[in-house]
Chains A and B, each alone.
Chain A
Amino acid sequence: MNTVPRAGLWWVYLLVFLALAINGAGAAQALFMTNDLGDTRTVLACSAAHGISMAEPLIVNPVRDGAAYDDCSRDYNVELGTTMVLGAVALPAAALLLMVLGGLAVRRRSRRGPNSFELEARFDALCVSQGLVGRRRPRLVLAARASGIRQAFTTGLPGARPWVVVPEAYAHVDPNEFEIVASHELGHVHANDVLWASAVWWTGWLPLPVLLFSVLALFEDPDAVWSFYGEHLVVSVVTAVAVLALRAALLRRRELAADRYAGEVLGDPRAVRAVLVGTTRKRPLFAVHPSVAERSTSGGQRWEGGLIVSAVAGVVAMLFYQVCHFVIRAFAGATADALVITDLPLALGCVLWAAVLIPAWTRRARASEAGWIGPLAGAVVGVVGGFEIQVPGAAPSLPVVLAEAVVEFIVLLGLVALTAAVLARAVAIRLAGATGAAARVGATLAVAFVLSSGIALVTGVLSATVLFDTTAMVRRLVVGEGAGSKWMVAGLVLIVGLALVWRRAGGIWIAVAGALSGGVAAALLWLLRFEPDQSEATDVVLAYQAWWICALAGWVVVVFVLLTHRGEPWVSALLLGLAAAVVAGLLWFVIVRLSGSGHGWSAFTASLSLPSWLLLVAVFATVPVLVLAARHSLNPSPLAWSAATLAVTSLLAILMTTDSLSTITLARSDGDYSFTTKYDPPPPPAANPNATRPLTPTDVTAAISAAAATLPAGTVEVPTPPRSAGPATIPSTCQETIQRNNAAEAATPHNADQTRTFTVPIEGIPDGVEVQIHLTSYKTDPHVLTNVDEAIHVCDRYAFPTPTFDNGVIRARMMARTPPPSPHPTRVLANLAYGTKNSIRRHAIGQTHFTTPGNNVIEISILWAYLALPPPPTVLATVDRIPNDLTTHLLASL
């Protein structure tokens, strides 16, 4: 008997766990949404208090409203994120529990038949020969005929010894037949096939019922279920079928592997095939055993890493990215750094993709499997498909704007995925030789960063295309994606990762020629066009064009190395191309510095990173051409190809210089564009020097009357309620602070003080809006704004007991709003109070504008209420205008 090394299938467990976690997170989000576990109404009310309407279509200016929206939705998002994390843990845990229960059920069914010492002895010898001793030795169980077990199988429980169950009939067969079947089962034990097969089984069967359960709250209205979750349910059904079909496909392959294992253990593959051939039957989609023909052949070297596994890895990786994006954004906030909420999840998903695919493809390369079309196609389909589909139960994670560019998105993402897949194949072939851990890790990260950089580029470019509809913005954005530290790190990892698996095989002179010609041409472009008094925008565009030339030089190197290679070319081609681009950029920088016309050291890093980035962009865009080039293997004469590199690079540089390539690279006018989201606040009211003077009661009365006269028709003046201490609050510090501040203001001597209250009718707010105008002229600084700041800090969240409301409490928040532009110090305080009375949710929204010209204080308060949903944006805008206009008129009339 021979000892056979273990085959690792850790990647199957990883994909299974993540598939369950992804489905669990999605179902948890659906449960959260359909049951409103996060109190959406409070988010709506808080947003309304900030003047942000959540009515469709939602337009939230991230500059003006982003911080406020983030603040209002923070609690909701944290609860949503927590729920998703719990779901991601719960579903795998449930699957594990079902695996255990299923295993126990199988063991219970395997009613034991009579003992057979001879079979035990033979089995023991087989186990010892394979190192399956101690806790790893499986138990042999002879199943009684009455149990209905007719075939040998392996079963197991997580953490326990596996069982090899054989029917009682094997006590009466030829001993060799028993050894063959037992060895086959030991092949499954060796590979831990039972656990992953059981895990995948539940991965196929669990998600759909769990999703249905999570949307149970909507079942009263089937139309709503279909409307909101119809697509999710379809995806869930399709993925369930696909998972079970994949499980069957993998098991068929594992059966062949177990057959081969038995042949290797017993040293007689032919005898093994004769016994394990099975009976003739068709091969349906869900069959877990190979056909007679497959088992009869001497092949069986069917390693994982084909089309299906590659596609699954892509789908799981991209769905994993979506879930990470949801969860991280939920905890970090929508206005957190894009590096955290977008780039980090994308990197995690792409690293997962590379970490699963590259080892699988390395094994495939070692087994000298012919044909890479299937795996490459699977990888592309998996990445694109996984990005396009939603996590079942979860909201779409793609930017909404990309819905208008689906076809373009699929095509561009396909190009990026193909580039990454081709590179993954290349490194896998290199890694199939003897390499160390550093090479494996470096190459994996390199491929992952190529994919993540490309996906970020595609989503950014298409979003810009849809939003701005100008090619200039798109060109600037393409360049801009490589301008930050993100690409600095990714580019470095890419180069180092490729270098770790690189084996010198020609192309060096092509790279040298490319670097020199690119650097010189770029410098010439700069020197010819540079003018000392040129604007910064022109400066930037000129530099970018120069770096494009460096990148194009690198691209020529890539093409020519692919054309002239011997063996696998992509690692050399890309590495030499990147090196040429970087060196060309460095050469440009040195020449420009020496000429005294150029940039300071701040451009140094950009001159290294941007050419490499732009080269990668060119590779993404032209990968079909490059794949065709790689199919050739022309005469690698160094002199001829170096000269050709020089010539082609120079030609491309001339085309850049004459703006012939500006459409796809950069045009001179592109420097005029900026793609920063702007918010242009309204102009501040004109300053009135009289506003800061001490006011008499006559002044105050006249000013308020003049301002009140501008209120809409139908406004009615109502008695002003006396200023009260307000209800007791929880925490008590809030009320104490307000009372203290009120007392301090009352104690501050003043020249004049008046308050008038009005009810203003507003369409869309049933009871209208209460407007209070309060104008006080103090003799000294009353520190009102300081008091407001303190109150906001202390009373961020509070409650006050109200026996007439359900739960006996009204909850409230006090928040700072962005004040409108004003020539005087200003604060805007937003108030929100909400509670449930007789099962009806009630909301009260208030805002108070404080403007302090000198020692005078203008205080405009607005108060209104609504029941179910806040009013639409137009109504909120009307309400917001009232205090702004009143303040403006008051200042003007002082």
Chain B
Amino acid sequence: MADELARSTAPITVAFSHLAKDIVAEVAPDQSDYLAAVTEAVEAGDRRARLLGGAVGSGVEPTVLAELIYPLLTGTVAQVLGAAGFAALQRRKWWRRKNKRGVRPSATISITAAQVAPMREACLAHGQVLGLSSAEATLLADALERALLRSLDDQ
């Protein structure tokens, strides 16, 4: 029992990319390969191509989970861990950071069991901020919760 109590309060370390992979594999398994490409691109800085005058674009981006997952996790973590905790994830100085909008997929977070529920709620709220419907946000929030609980159990 003491061991269980110890386990429930001890933080676990989990990588963003692991969470993203778990969530996408559960919710949209057909996008798993694409997620790998997204992860690689975001890790490298994810610079947008500048086409100057040689192209005429649509002005919209496709709505796929693999593109949305990292901004969703970033916003969720920031909301739960707070600004200090979020800043700690930014291991590089700000001027050396390529991806100014969020954390790199290889970044890890430390959470406790007590933070799982808040993470779920934050994900639900942030998902709707990103334009997801309530049902979609709930789906993702539940998937995040299960992924976090699996990580805790694995430890």
Contacts and interface: CB of A to CB of B under 8 A. Distances in A.
B63 A155 contact: no
Contact of A172 (B31, B51, B55, B60): B31
A288 B60 contact: no
Interface of A: 99, 102-103, 105-106, 109, 113, 144-155, 165, 167-173, 177, 181, 184-185, 188, 193-194, 197-198, 200-202, 205, 251, 254-255, 258, 275-279, 288-290
Given A145-B34, A172-B30, A173-B63, A201 B53 contact: yes
B114 interface: no
Contacts of B41: 145-146, 148
B34 A171 contact: yes
A278 B59 contact: yes
Contacts of A102: 52-54
Given A145-B41, A146-B41, A106 B60 contact: no
B49 A289 contact: no
A155 B51 contact: yes
Contact of B56 (A113, A170, A181, A251): A251
Given A106-B51, A153-B56, 14 more contacts: A99-B54, A102-B54, A113-B37, A145-B34, A146-B44, A150-B61, A154-B55, A167-B61, A168-B34, A173-B63, A185-B58, A193-B56, A197-B53, A201-B52
B137 to A, nearest CB: 17
Contacts of B30: 172
Contact of A155 (B46, B55, B60): B55
A103 B52 CA distance: 10
A197 B56 contact: yes
B49 A148 contact: yes
Contacts of A193: 56
Nearest to A99: B54
Contact of B59 (A151, A155, A165): A151
Interface string B132-147: 0000000000000000
10 contacts: A148-B41, A152-B57, A152-B60, A153-B56, A153-B57, A154-B57, A169-B64, A172-B66, A197-B53, A258-B58
Given A109-B49, A145-B41, A173 B56 contact: no
B46 to A, nearest CB: 7
A278 B60 contact: yes
Nearest to A154: B56
Given A169-B66, A172-B66, A181 B37 contact: no
B82 interface: no
Given A201-B52, A201-B53, A202-B53, A172 B58 contact: no
Nearest to A104: B54
Closest 3 CB pairs of A and B: A201-B53, A289-B59, A153-B57
A276 B52 CA distance: 21
A152 B58 contact: yes
B96 interface: no
A514 to B, nearest CB: 55
B54 A105 contact: yes
Contact of A277 (B48, B60, B62, B67): B60
B31 to A, nearest CB: 5
Contacts, number: 117
Interface residues of B, number: 29
Among B38, B61, B66, max chain A CB count under 10 A is at: B61
A288 B52 CA distance: 11
Interface of B: 28, 30-31, 34, 37-38, 40-41, 44, 46-49, 51-64, 66-67
B55 A106 contact: yes
Contacts of A146: 37, 40-41, 44
B101 to A, nearest CB: 13
Nearest to A114: B33
Contacts of B46: 148
B48 A148 contact: yes
Given A146-B37, A148-B47, A172-B34, A288 B57 contact: yes
Among A99, A148, A275, A277, max chain B CB count under 10 A is at: A148
Given A169-B67, A172-B30, A254 B61 contact: no
A391 B53 CA distance: 25
A24 B44 CA distance: 43
Contacts of B34: 145, 168-169, 171-172
B34 to A, nearest CB: 6
A145 B66 CA distance: 11
A255 B59 contact: yes
Nearest to B49: A148
B28 A145 contact: no
A172 B28 contact: yes
A198 B37 contact: no
A205 B53 CA distance: 10
Contacts of A153: 51, 55-58
B62 A170 contact: yes
A162 to B, nearest CB: 10
B133 to A, nearest CB: 13
B58 A151 contact: yes
A200 B60 CA distance: 23
Nearest to B34: A172
Given A168-B34, A277-B60, A109 B51 contact: yes
Contact of B38 (A105, A145, A251, A290): A145
Nearest to B30: A172
Contacts of B57: 151-154, 288-289
Nearest to A202: B53
A877 B62 CA distance: 81
A172 B36 CA distance: 14
A576 to B, nearest CB: 48
B44 to A, nearest CB: 8
Among B28, B38, B58, B61, max chain A CB count under 10 A is at: B58
A146 B57 CA distance: 18
A203 to B, nearest CB: 10
A62 B56 CA distance: 55
B37 A194 contact: no
Among B48, B51, B63, max chain A CB count under 10 A is at: B51
Nearest to A170: B62
B49 A147 contact: yes
A170 B63 CA distance: 9
A705 B42 CA distance: 103
A194 B55 CA distance: 6
Contacts of B60: 151-152, 181, 275-279
Nearest to A144: B37
Contacts of B28: 172
A276 B49 contact: no
A198 B40 CA distance: 32
Nearest to A276: B60
B58 A184 contact: yes
A413 to B, nearest CB: 34
A219 B7 CA distance: 76
A197 B59 CA distance: 15
Contacts of A167: 61-62
Contacts of B58: 151-153, 181, 184-185, 255, 258, 276
B109 to A, nearest CB: 24
A188 B58 CA distance: 9
A99 B53 CA distance: 8
Nearest to A197: B56
Contacts of A288: 56-57, 59
B61 to A, nearest CB: 5
Contacts of A275: 60
A287 to B, nearest CB: 9
Nearest to B65: A172
A145 B55 CA distance: 18
A167 B37 CA distance: 12
A321 B71 CA distance: 56
A254 B56 contact: yes
Contacts of A165: 55
Contacts of A197: 53, 56
Nearest to B36: A145
B53 A145 contact: no
A288 B47 CA distance: 20
